[in-house]
Amino acid sequence: MRSMMRMTAVLSLVALVACSGSQSPLTGWPVKSPEGTIYLVPLDGFSDEATWQLVHYYHDQHGLDIQVLPSIPVDSSLLNPRRRQLMAEKLTARVHDAYSDRVRDSKDVLIGLTAQDMYLQSSSWQFAFGWRSPDLRTAVVSSARMDLHYSGEPAEVASPSIRLRKMVTKDIGTLYYHLPLSLNPRSALYWNIMGIQELDGMGEQF
């Protein structure tokens, strides 16, 4: 019985390593980038400065040439008037529909950026930092609650720009590099972000 358990553990570890692929020991990022393109799509009211900070960061730190597409409007059909929040699933579909011609190649990815608060229709959560659809190769990230504070927060990571970057990095990891989500709360791929403290606890390596 113990022998079977050890074998199962070894096989699970082998599968995990195979999924993670070849990674740089310095950055934890894949050594070679896929051939597709990552597109950022700012939505109504999202900061141009914040968008281009992301572009420059990923180019300088990871050699990714990310493109920025023209902003698209967010109409009332995407807003729950009672909650005064955007519906993340519908917003994701809206971004995809607006630029579906850009992701005809299965290697390309769309990431929408909004300053408005949003929630998941499919969850009981009060809000969501992000949502992604692997089938559409499209994600959306909301910066609305990334300026929240709490007692004892780590000043070196508790900034809206770093929090935003972590969520975009998670989408790049899952949609662009096709990496699996992680149970490690320090990983940029951590699956269970329930609030701002979990987001601050995440690192920026896969």
Q: How many beta carbons lie within 10 A of that of residue 184, not counting itself? A: 13
Residue 131 lies in a domain: yes
Model pLDDT, residue 24: 62
Which structure tokens are listed for 148?
A: 């929240």
Residue 4 lies in a domain: no
Domain count of the chain? 1
- Burial class (CB within 10 angstroms; exposed 0-12, middle 13-18, buried 19+) of 47: middle
Q: What are the tens digits of pLDDT across the range 136-171?
A: 999 999 999 999 889 888 888 889 999 999 999 999
Residue 99 lies in a domain: yes
Phi, psi of 82 (to 5 degrees): -70, -45
Residue 3 lies in a domain: no
What CA–CA distance (Å, rounded) separates 165 from 170? 9
The runs of H, that is alpha helices, within the chain are 2-20, 48-62, 88-98, 160-171, 196-201
Model pLDDT, residue 25: 54
In Å, how far from its chain's centre is CA 44?
19
Residues whose CB is less than 8 angstroms from the CB of residue 59 and which lie 6 or more positions away in sequence, other chains included: 65, 66
DSSP of 22-84, one letter per residue? SB-TTTSSBSS--SS-EEEEEBTT--HHHHHHHHHHHHHHH----EEPPPB---GGGEETTTT
- Burial class (CB within 10 angstroms; exposed 0-12, middle 13-18, buried 19+) of 157: middle
- Name the 3-class secondary structure at 86: strand
Residue 124 lies in a domain: yes
Domain with residue 57: its CATH number is 3.40.390.10
Residue 5 lies in a domain: no
Per-residue pLDDT of the chain in tens (206 residues, 90 and over written 9): 444 334 333 333 333 333 444 666 556 788 777 889 999 999 988 999 999 999 999 999 999 999 999 999 999 999 999 999 999 999 999 999 999 999 988 899 999 999 999 999 998 899 999 999 999 999 999 999 999 889 888 888 889 999 999 999 999 999 999 999 999 999 999 999 989 999 999 999 99
One-letter amino acid for residue 16 of the chain: L
Residue 181 lies in a domain: yes
What CA–CA distance (Å, rounded) separates 35 from 183? 28
Residue 15 lies in a domain: no
Which of 110, 65, 120 lies closest to 89 in space, CA to CA? 120
Which structure tokens are listed for 162?
A: 């770093």
Q: How many beta carbons lie within 10 A of that of residue 69, not counting itself? A: 15
Model pLDDT, residue 104: 85
Whole-model pTM: value is 0.86
Q: Cβ distance 92 to 102 under 8 Å? A: no
Please give the residue range of the domain that contains residue 150.
21-201
